[in-house]
Structure 1
Amino acid sequence: MARPASIQTNWLDRLLGWFDPAAGLRRQQLRAAYEGAEKSRYRKARRDSGPNQPVQQAAASLRAAARHLERNHDIARGALRTLVNNVVGASGIGIEPQPRLPDGTVHTAYAAALREAWRDWCRCPEVSQRHHWTRLQRMAARSWLRDGEVFAQQLMGPVAKLDHGSRVPYSLELFEADRVPLDYQDGASIQQGIETNGWGRPVGYWVYRQHPLDHGSQANELRRISADRILHLALFDRIDQRRGVSEFAAILTRLEDLKDYEESERIAAKVAAMLTAYVKRGTPDLYDPSQTARDEHGEPLPRDLRLAPGMIIDSLAAGEDISLIDSNRPNPNLVSWRQGQLRAVAAGLGASYSSVSRDYNGTYSSQRQELVEQWVHYAVLTDEFTGQFVQPVWQSFVQTAHLAGIVPMPPDLDPQRADDALFVGQSMPWIDPMKEALAWETLTRAGFASELEVIRKRGAQPMDVLEQLASWRQLVKERGLVLSSAEGVTKPAPVVTGEAPE
C-alpha cells in the first residue's frame, strides 16, 4: 500500500517501524496531525516568547511608526480618523443616568440632578481646561488606537494649585504612554512601569512627571500613582499582557510600502508630463563631422533644439532623427493594485474599505451590507472604550458629586445602583433615510421596537428629545400655530419607490 504523500518519513521512522510497527504508525500520525507546525525550507519555524516580551521590545517603535504615518500619510491619517469618528463620534459616548429605587424603577428626580451636574462638568473635565468632554474622548480614543494605550489620572476633591473648573470637584489628567516607561522594572512586582500584586492586579503606576522628551528638571523624575486613581486604556492581544500595542501594528509595513510606491508613481507621472526628446543618429557612415557647427577656435558648438508649439526642425544632420522619451506613466495597473492594498489595510485595521479608500461605488444593498457587517467591529471598540474609560469616569463623578454635597444621594435610593446608567454609543448611519425611517416606524407600530430605541439609534438622548418636543409644542400652542405633527392633522401616506426597506 502506498504511503500518503503528505506524510514524510526519515531513517529513524523506518527503523522504528521495523522493530515496532505500531509505534512507527503513531509517530507518523502525530507528525501528520499539524502540518503547519513542521519546519521545512518552505516554512519557517515560529517560536513564542510570551505575552510581554514582544511588547517590551516593539511597543515603543510601533507607536513611533504609527505617529509618523499619522503625520505624513494621508491614508493612515484618514483611517485613524475613521476609527475615532465611528467609535466616539461627534457627540461622544452619551450617558443617560438610570439610578434605581429599591423596587427597580428609575429615580427620576435624582437622575435629573445628575444630568444637570454632568452638563456643567462636561465643559471643563480635565486639568488644563482646554478640552471639553467630547473632545477629550476623541483625543483619548485617538491615542488609544494609534499608540495602543493611553492613561488618565483621576483627581478628586481639593488638590493643591488645581482649579477643577466645575461645581463637582473632579478632574482628569490625560497623558500618553511615553510617560509610563516600558523599561522600568524593579523585581518581579514592577514590570514595564506597572506594579502588580500576586494575582497580577495593578496596584500602582510609575509615571514621569513630564514627557521624557521634554526639556525640564522633572522630565526624568518618576513618581508612583496608586492604581485606583489611574485609568489605563489598552489594546490587549494576550491574557497576561501588561501594556497595549498599536492597532496599526499588523499593517504598518503595508502602509509604508503603499506610501513609498504611490510617491514613486507620482514622481514618475510628473517626470512623464515634462516632454523630453533626444536626437537619434543612424549608422556611423552617415555621420559627417564637417556638418557640425564650430566656433572661431574650431570647437563644436552646442546644439540648441528647444521645442516650441508648431516648431519645424530643419537643422538635423544626415541620419539623425528626433524621438520622445515615453515613461509609460501613469501606470494603468496602479488603481487596481492600490484597491487591493487598501482592502488588506481595512481588513487588518478593522475599518470599512469604503471609508478608508473613499470609494463608495455600489448599490444600496451592497453598501448597507458592508456597513452592517463592519458596524460590529465599531461596536466592539466602543464597548471596550466605554468599559475602560467612560464608565469609570461616570462612576467616579457620581461618587464625588455625592461626597462633595453637590448632588447627594436621596435616602430612598438604592445605594448599590446609584451610578447605573445607559451608555449610548454611535448609531449605525442611515444610507437611505426614507427607507430606514419607514422600517423603524413599521417595527414601532408592530410593537417590536420602542420610540426610545429609535431615538437612541439615531444618536440622541430620549429625555433631551422629550424636553425639546414639550418646549417646542408649548411655544407653538402659545402662538396659535398648527403644524403637520400636531394631533388630528391628516398626513398624506408616504410614497416609496425603488427597493423595499431592508
Structure 2
Amino acid sequence: MNWIEQTIASISPRWAMQRAHSRHVLAHYEAARPSKQRISHNSNASINTSIQASAGSIRAQARDLERNHDIVRGALRVLVNNVVGAAGIGVEPQPRMTNGEVHEDYAAQLRSAWALWQRRPEVTRRYHWGMLQRLTAYTWLRDGEAFGQMLSGPVDYLRHSTSVPFSLEMMEPDFIPLDLTDPERNLRQGIQCNAWGQPVAYHCYKGDPRETYQLATKTIPAERMLHVATIDRLHQYRGMSELSSVITRLEDLKDFEESERIAAKVAASLTAYVKRTEAFTGNDVPKVNGDDDEDKRPHRELEMMPGMIIDTLQVGEEIGMIDTKRPNPNLVAWRAGQLKAVAAGMGASYSSISRDYDGTYSAQRQELVEQWVHYAVLADEFVGMLVQPVWEAFVRAAHLSGVVRCPKEVPLENSDDALYIGQAMPWIDPYKEAVAMEKLVQAGFASEVEAIRKRGQNPRDVMDQTEQWRKDAARRGLRFTSNAASMTGGGALASNDGGSDSGDDSATKNKKDAPAAD
C-alpha cells in the first residue's frame, strides 16, 4: 500500500484494503510490477553502454567454449556451413547495358579475373576466398563481429597477388579498441562518426594488442573498412556474440555432463561390499599377532569375476551390491531439452547441433524449412556486409587498373551488378524433391535455372559441362540415358534462350540431330 492507503488503514483497514486491491487490478502492465515471485529488471542502459561493459568478457567466454566444448564448436560450424557453405557465397556478374541486357563479353572477363583473384585474395596469401569467407563468418558468429580493410592500388610494402591491384586485410575485433572513446571527437568504441552517426573512420591497432606492448593505432577511412557485425538494436556501434544469451546454459550443460561422466567412471569401479550383521562373531577370521582388538583385523579382498562363487563368508556376513544410479537415465532427456533451448538462442537447427535425426520425413522437412529462413537472413547480412562491398571494390579496381575495362555500352553504375548465390536448402528425400521440381518446370511454374540453383549449382557451369560432355560423347559415338530422355522423333532438345541466368527461361525448343549410336 502507498502512504494514502496506509493512512486510511489506521481508520478503516477494510477500505484501505479495497482501495489497494482496486488500484492493483487497474494496473495496465503487471509485468512492470516486481513481486516476491519475480524480480523486475529495470535497467535501461543504452546498447553501446551494455556492449562496452560486457562485450570483452562475453567474447573471451565464447572463445573458451569454442576451444573446449564440443557442442559449441559443432554449433558454430553448423551455422557457418549453412550460411557460407563449402565454396562461399558465389558471385555471378550481371553488368547490364542501357537497353537492360547483360553484356556477356564484359561479364565473362569479370568472371575470369574474379576466379583468378579468389585464389589469393588477402594480404597474407594464406587463405583462398571460400576459406576466408568461412573464417570471417566464424569470427563474426563467435565474437560478434569481424573487420577487414580493402586495399586498392599501390600500397607500401604490399604486392598484390594478381594483376588486379586489390587485396583484403582481415582482422579480429580485438584490433579495434573497444575502450577507445572520446565524446568530443564523436569517437565511440574505436569508431569515429559524424553528426548523423555515420562512421567516417576506424581506429585500428597496428599490431595484435594481445602479442605486443606497442599499442599505437592507425586511422582507416570508413570507405575502406569492412565491418561484419551482429546488430540487434538501432544506434549500435559494435557487435555482440551469437552465444551471448546461451553462454550460461552451455557452461551448465558442460559442467553437468562432466559431473555425470566422472560419476559413471566412479560407479564402474564400485562392485560390492561385505555387510556384517549382529550375528557376526569373527571367530574364524585370523587375528594380527594375537591382538584381540577387532579394529586391527586384516581387511579381506575379494576378486570379482564372472560366475564366481563366494564361499569364504563368515557367520553374520553377507554380500551387499552398490547401486550408484549411474548412468543417469534422465540425462538424455534433460540434455535434449537444453540443446533445444541452445538451438533456439543461436538460431541453428536442433537436429544439426545434437546430431539427432530421428523423426518422419515431414517433421524433418518442416524443421529444415523453418530453420532455413534464419540461415537465409544471416546469409543476406553477410553478403551486404562483406561479399557485395568486396565485389564492388574489385570491379572498380579492375576498371581503374585497366585489367578489365568497363565497355562504353555499360554505364559505370551498372558495371558491378551481380547475383549473389547463397547456399541452397538441401534435399531430405532427393527423389520426392526431384519429382516435385520436375512437375513445376513442366507446368511452367518454375524454370530450369531455378531448379539448378536449388541444387546449389551455377546454371551456366551446368550448361557448359553438359555441352562439353555432349561433344565428347558424340565424338566417341556414345549415348547415355540423359540423351534418350531428351530425344523426340530422332532429335535432341536444346533451349534457345542463350543460357541466360536471369531466371526467365524460354520454353521454346529447337531440334537438332542427335549423335548416332555406335
Query: TM-score normalised to the size of structure 1?
Result: 0.89
What is the match of residue 221 of structure 2?
Answer: 226
What is the match of residue 269 of structure 2?
Answer: 274
- 1:470 matched to 2:467? The reply is yes
What is the match of residue 394 of structure 1?
Answer: 391
What is the match of residue 335 of structure 1?
Answer: 332
Q: How does 1:96-175 map to 2 (within 5 A)?
A: 96-175=92-171
- 1:30-88 Cα offsets, whole Å, 9 max, x none, are 95211111122222222211111110011111111111111111111111100000000
Q: Is there any run of 5+ residues in structure 1 with no aligned partner, and where?
A: 1-8, 17-23, 492-502
**Pick from 345, 349, 352: which aligns with 1:352?**
349
Q: How does 1:302-381 map to 2 (within 5 A)?
A: 302-309=298-305, 310-381=307-378
What is the match of residue 488 of structure 1?
Answer: 487
What is the match of residue 237 of structure 1?
Answer: 232
SS of equivalent to 1:45: coil
What is the match of residue 76 of structure 2?
Answer: 80
- 2-structure distance, mates of 1:288, 1:437: 80
- 1:92 matched to 2:104? The reply is no
What is the match of residue 499 of structure 1?
Answer: none
SS of equivalent to 1:249: coil
What is the match of residue 20 of structure 1?
Answer: none
Give the stretch that moved more between structures: 306-315 or 169-178: 306-315
- 1:64 matched to 2:60? The reply is yes
- 2-structure distance, mates of 1:44, 1:369: 37
Deviation at 1:458, TM superposition (A): 1.4
What is the match of residue 12 of structure 1?
Answer: 4
Structure 1 counterpart of 2:241, which letter?
S
- 1:183-223 Cα offsets, whole Å, 9 max, x none, are 11123411111111111111111111122111x464x2211
Task: Give the direction of change, closer, same or farther, for the CA distance of 1:406–1:13 in structure 2 (3 Å limit).
Answer: farther
**Pick from 185, 188, 207: which aligns with 2:181?**
185
Say if 1:120 and 1:167, in contact at 8 Å, map to a contact too. no
What is the match of residue 457 of structure 1?
Answer: 454
Give the stretch that moved more between structures: 290-299 or 363-372: 290-299
- 1:250 matched to 2:245? The reply is yes
Sequence identity, in percent? Answer: 55
Deviation at 1:303, TM superposition (A): 2.1
SS of equivalent to 1:52: helix
Structure 2 counterpart of 1:100, which letter?
R
Deviation at 1:306, TM superposition (A): 3.0
- 1-structure distance, mates of 2:198, 2:273: 73
SS of equivalent to 2:57: helix
SS of equivalent to 2:149: strand
- 1-structure distance, mates of 2:285, 2:470: 96
- 2-structure distance, mates of 1:311, 1:363: 48
Deviation at 1:434, TM superposition (A): 1.1
SS of equivalent to 1:321: strand
- 2-structure distance, mates of 1:353, 1:75: 11
Say if 2:181 and 2:190, in contact at 8 Å, map to a contact too. yes
Task: Give the direction of change, closer, same or farther, for the CA distance of 1:276–1:203 in structure 2 (3 Å limit).
Answer: same
SS of equivalent to 2:419: strand
Structure 2 counterpart of 1:156, which letter?
S
Task: Give the direction of change, closer, same or farther, for the CA distance of 1:253–1:213 in structure 2 (3 Å limit).
Answer: same
Deviation at 1:15, TM superposition (A): 8.0
- 2-structure distance, mates of 1:401, 1:317: 94
- 1:316-368 Cα offsets, whole Å, 9 max, x none, are 44322231222110111111111111111111111111111111111111111
Q: How does 1:294-309 map to 2 (within 5 A)?
A: 294-295=288-289, 300-309=296-305
- 2-structure distance, mates of 1:468, 1:30: 72
Task: Give the direction of change, closer, same or farther, for the CA distance of 1:62–1:317 in structure 2 (3 Å limit).
Answer: same
- 2-structure distance, mates of 1:127, 1:314: 78
Structure 1 counterpart of 2:332, which letter?
V
Task: Give the direction of change, closer, same or farther, for the CA distance of 1:30–1:239 in structure 2 (3 Å limit).
Answer: farther
- 1-structure distance, mates of 2:5, 2:104: 76
Task: Give the direction of change, closer, same or farther, for the CA distance of 1:289–1:484 in structure 2 (3 Å limit).
Answer: closer
- 2-structure distance, mates of 1:181, 1:444: 53
Say if 1:295 and 1:301, in contact at 8 Å, map to a contact too. no
**Pick from 184, 208, 211: which aligns with 1:211?**
208
- 1:264-315 Cα offsets, whole Å, 9 max, x none, are 11111111112333222223x7445784421377783522313132444444
Deviation at 1:159, TM superposition (A): 1.3
- 1:133-169 Cα offsets, whole Å, 9 max, x none, are 0000000000000000000011111112212111211
Say if 2:284 and 2:314, in contact at 8 Å, map to a contact too. no
SS of equivalent to 1:33: coil
Say if 2:119 and 2:129, in contact at 8 Å, map to a contact too. yes
- 2-structure distance, mates of 1:94, 1:490: 39
Structure 1 counterpart of 2:263, which letter?
A
SS of equivalent to 2:464: helix
- 1-structure distance, mates of 2:3, 2:66: 55
Query: TM-score normalised to the size of structure 2?
Result: 0.87
Deviation at 1:398, TM superposition (A): 0.3
